[in-house]
Amino acid sequence: MTKRPYSPGGVPRSTELASTILDKAERDVVFTLRIRGESLDLLSRHFLGFIERSLESNGVRYGDHPLLRLFIETHGRELTDFVVNGMALSHQMDLKAFERFGGDATHLLRADVWDSLRGYIESAELHFMSGLGGLNDILAEVDAHRPDAAGGADG
């Protein structure tokens, strides 16, 4: 017979569960950094502009493909999500570390966050420029859709 994780009666399960989780908090509970609000909007607009400039430098403009805006917005969201999720995964603090914060320690954290954020943005841009599903795929799709291309829209 297996032991039941909670005693029947007396203390409500939600109370007992909350206590059990809090007992394990030093091991299992983490605080994560999350980018939101105006900062998330700035990050998203950065990537949209970055992609638009990258395409323009390769001779691609709106009107060259009917789905170009959708391509740009989709890739912009992917790059933004990469940075946001990377920051959340790389900046987790356990309960003890969070409780110890105070004074100048936040300045050290701010510098660490800045460095990580810059690194993730640069990684996302590099991946878009050189990786699968990025700039090269969009350029190939636009070229295939142009009327003067073999197999294009009119060919």
Residue-wise pLDDT for 62-118, tens only, equals 888 888 999 999 999 999 999 999 999 988 887 777 667 655 555 566 777 888 889
Query: Residue 2 pLDDT more than 60?
Result: no
Q: What pLDDT does 12 receive?
A: 65
Q: Which of 43, 68, 73 is nearest to 58 (CA)?
A: 68
d(CA 52, CA 27): 44
Q: What is the 3-state secondary structure (H, E, C) of 75-143?
A: HHHHHHHHHHHHHHHHCEEEHHHHHHCCCCHHHHHHHHHHHHHHHHHHHHHHHHHHCCCCHHHHHHHHH
* Residue 108 buriedness (CB in 10 A; 0-12 / 13-18 / 19+): exposed
Residue-wise pLDDT for 8-24, tens only, equals 566 668 878 888 888 88
d(CA 136, CA 128): 9
**Residue 32: enclosing H or E segment and its boundaries?**
strand 30-32
